[in-house]
């Protein structure tokens, strides 16, 4: 029993140290959050976003275009694309690792397009629904882009990060580890 407890504690300690190193490395690479690092949506927040996005897609009578700008490995985009085969999904990511992951994982999905690119070079004009997960430092730049570029009625579902100057229509609380946070829903 004691050996089990020791091994368990060592594994937990290794995981905590690895996670801390990963977060700090991400923060350094991300220039203080100005370039959101590759941290996939997981847990309750992922479930809430997928459920909320599914509500909008299910209600829509027309074929929708759903985008995850900064899609990472497709944690949000791919479950939705698998569930809604008749709608179009677009993922864009600047990082070569997340891009290659989503590219490989989406090979079998005909309704998914992915780009290894800067989201600011892409038009959001025909996008109906956006799912995203950014840092608070990046949020003002993204809001500006969306206000300039996205069409009226476009819905944006943001994991944990408030997007300034956008019209908030819903704020869904969740608890992640010890922190209380929100999924934010906006409409242009």
Ligand X SMILES: C[S@@+](CC[C@H](N)C(=O)[O-])C[C@H]1O[C@@H](n2cnc3c(N)ncnc32)[C@H](O)[C@@H]1O
Site string for ligand X, 95-124 (x = CB under 6 A): x--x-------------------xxx----
Does residue 36 touch ligand X according to CB under 6 A?
yes
Nearer to ligand X, 57 or 94 (CB): 94
Q: Tell me the H-state helices in 30-152.
A: 43-59, 77-83, 96-105, 139-149
> Who contacts 5 (Cβ-Cβ below 8 Å, separation ≥6)?
none
- Nearest alpha-carbon partner for 146 in 124, 169, 179: 124
Q: Does 142 bind ligand X (CB under 6 A)?
A: no
Identify any residues that bridge with 171 across adjacent strands, giving them in sequence order. 184
Q: How far apart are CA 92 and CA 112, in angstroms?
A: 11
Contact between 159 and ligand X per CB under 6 A: yes
Q: Is 161 one of the binding residues for ligand X (CB under 6 A)?
A: no
Interface mask toward ligand X for 63-82; x: CB under 6 A? -----xxxxx--xx------
| Rounded-to-integer distance, Cα 162 and Cα 168, Å | 9
Distance separating alpha carbons of residues 137 and 7, to the nearest angstrom: 39
Using rule CB under 6 A, residue 133 touches ligand X: yes
With CB under 6 A as the rule, give the number of residues binding ligand X: 24
Is 174 an interacting residue with respect to ligand X (CB under 6 A)?
Answer: no
Q: How far is the CB of 42 from ligand X (least distance, A)?
A: 8
Rule CB under 6 A: choose which of 57, 94, 109, 172 binds ligand X.
94
């Amino acid at each position: 029993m004691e050996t089990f407890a020791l091994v368990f504690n060592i594994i937990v300690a290794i995981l905590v140290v690895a996670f801390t190193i990963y977060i700090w490395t991400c923060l350094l690479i991300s220039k203080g959050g100005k370039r959101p690092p590759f941290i996939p949506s997981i847990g309750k927040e992922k479930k809430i976003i997928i459920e909320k996005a599914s509500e909008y897609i299910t209600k829509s009578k027309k074929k929708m275009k759903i985008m995850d700008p900064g899609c990472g490995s497709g944690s949000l985009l791919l479950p939705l694309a698998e569930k809604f085969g008749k709608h179009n999904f677009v993922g864009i990511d600047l990082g070569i690792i997340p891009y290659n992951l989503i590219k490989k994982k989406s090979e079998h999905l005909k309704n998914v397009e992915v780009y290894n690119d800067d989201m600011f070079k892409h038009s959001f004009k025909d996008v109906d629904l956006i799912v995203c997960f950014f840092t608070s430092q990046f949020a003002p730049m993204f809001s500006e882009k969306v206000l300039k570029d996205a069409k009226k009625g476009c819905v944006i579902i943001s994991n944990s990060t408030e997007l300034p100057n956008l019209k908030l229509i819903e704020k869904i609380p969740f608890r992640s580890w010890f922190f209380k946070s929100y999924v934010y829903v906006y409409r242009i």
